[in-house]
Amino acid sequence: MADDRPEVGADVADVDLSGQTVLVTGSTSGIGRAAALAFGRLGAEVLVHGRDEDAGAAVVAELEATDADGATFFAADFADRSAVHRLAEEVTAHTDELDVLANNAGGYFPNGGTTEDGIAFTFGVNHLAPFVLTADLLPTLAAEARVVTTSSLAHRQGGMDFESLRTPETGQGWGEYAQSKLANVLFTRELARRLDAAGRDVTANCFHPGAIPGSGFVRNAPFPIPTLTRALSAVPDPLTRPFVTTVSDGAETLVYLGASPELDTSGGYFTNCRERRPSLAARDEETARRLWEVSEDLAGVEVDLSPAIEQ
């Protein structure tokens, strides 16, 4: 029977993360929870995030039963930008240095609408919130910190429609989800480029976790995704592994990108702990630059990549 510890599949079970602090957004359930528990078993201090206080307390209790060097829950609704800024402030007050920032919270939101700040909902939660959180936490990131963002294979179906980002009537549903996951890849590549240009050793990578039959995400996904995912999950593992996984398998690449000493990539898109080429649209440098500028404009932030000054 397969081991359900993501750190085993990611080949990092022997890595010691004690002394490191890891923030996993969206770790009250699903992939984020499985990754948070793995980081805890590897000895890190784990900062758990979500909206559901009870689920957050349950994950903290689970972490306290591992080798984690402490666990704390932070609540923040990513559909409210002021809550994202507050989360960054609380994390900065809590820790001197963040070693891993895992931008994982997100989902498929078929009802569309807008966030509290008037941004198309899926784009706001899945892209703009992690953009703002990362920007706010840049001064708190350790010298060789890792920013890991959960994207999706769905990015291949996405295109950036910059005109739709303030208009909830257009681009709802799967198209908007695919666009937000494309934004995750473009953001990762542009962040990596800017960090490198600023002479910082912080890396940024993103990944596709697989299509996970038991996840909240697939339960909410439109037909035929839940049906197909369930059917494919009955097919022998080697044939479907790149596409259909368990929650634990889905967390493997996140744990690999956060913990593997072998990782020497920045700006990469990974599946099954291996770097893959993302879509043509995701490799468009001009679109990545524009997304960065539009995101700064929509969020009212100017991202400063200079390292924090040593006191």
| Residue 180: how many other CB atoms lie within 10 Å | 28
Contact (Cβ atoms closer than 8 angstroms) between residue 218 and residue 243:
no
Residue nearest to ligand NAP according to CB distances in the complex: 30
Q: How far is the CB of 82 from ligand NAP (least distance, A)?
A: 13
By the 10 Å C-beta count (0-12 exposed, 13-18 middle, 19+ buried), 175 is classed as: middle
Q: Catalytic residue among 108, 177, 256, 269, which?
A: 177
Q: How far is the CB of 121 from ligand NAP (least distance, A)?
A: 9
Q: How far is the CB of 165 from ligand NAP (least distance, A)?
A: 17
Question: Tokens 């963002």 map to which residue?
Answer: 149
Kindly give, in sequence order, each residue whose CB lies less than 8 Å from that of residue 291, ignoring residues fewer than 6 positions away. Answer: 160, 162, 183, 186, 187, 190
Q: Measure the CA–CA gap between 26 and 49, rounded to whole angstroms.
A: 5
Q: How far is CA 261 from CA 10, 146, 229, 257, in A?
A: 11, 11, 33, 9
Exposure string of 209-238, with b = 16+ CB inside 10 Å and e = fewer, is bbbbbbbbbbeebeeebbebbeeebeeeee
Contact (Cβ atoms closer than 8 angstroms) between residue 91 and residue 137:
yes
The secondary structure element, H or E, covering residue 147 is strand 141-150
Q: Measure the CA–CA gap between 131 and 23, rounded to whole angstroms.
A: 15
Q: How far is the CB of 301 from ligand NAP (least distance, A)?
A: 18
Kindly give, in sequence order, each residue whose CB lies less than 8 Å from that of residue 223, ignoring residues fewer than 6 positions away. Answer: none
Contact (Cβ atoms closer than 8 angstroms) between residue 245 and residue 212:
yes
Q: How far is the CB of 184 from ligand NAP (least distance, A)?
A: 8
Pick 142 or 160: Cβ nearer ligand NAP: 160
Pick 142 or 178: Cβ nearer ligand NAP: 178
Pick 129 or 142: Cβ nearer ligand NAP: 129
Query: Is 256 noted as a catalytic residue in this protein?
Result: no
| Residue 18: how many other CB atoms lie within 10 Å | 11
Q: Which residues are at the interface with ligand NAP (CB under 6 A)? A: 26-32, 50-52, 55, 77-79, 104-107, 125, 150, 152, 208-209, 211-212, 215-218
Pick 50 or 267: Cβ nearer ligand NAP: 50
Pick 78 or 292: Cβ nearer ligand NAP: 78
Pick 140 or 152: Cβ nearer ligand NAP: 152
Q: How far is the CB of 143 from ligand NAP (least distance, A)?
A: 27
Which residues participate in catalysis according to the annotation? Answer: 177
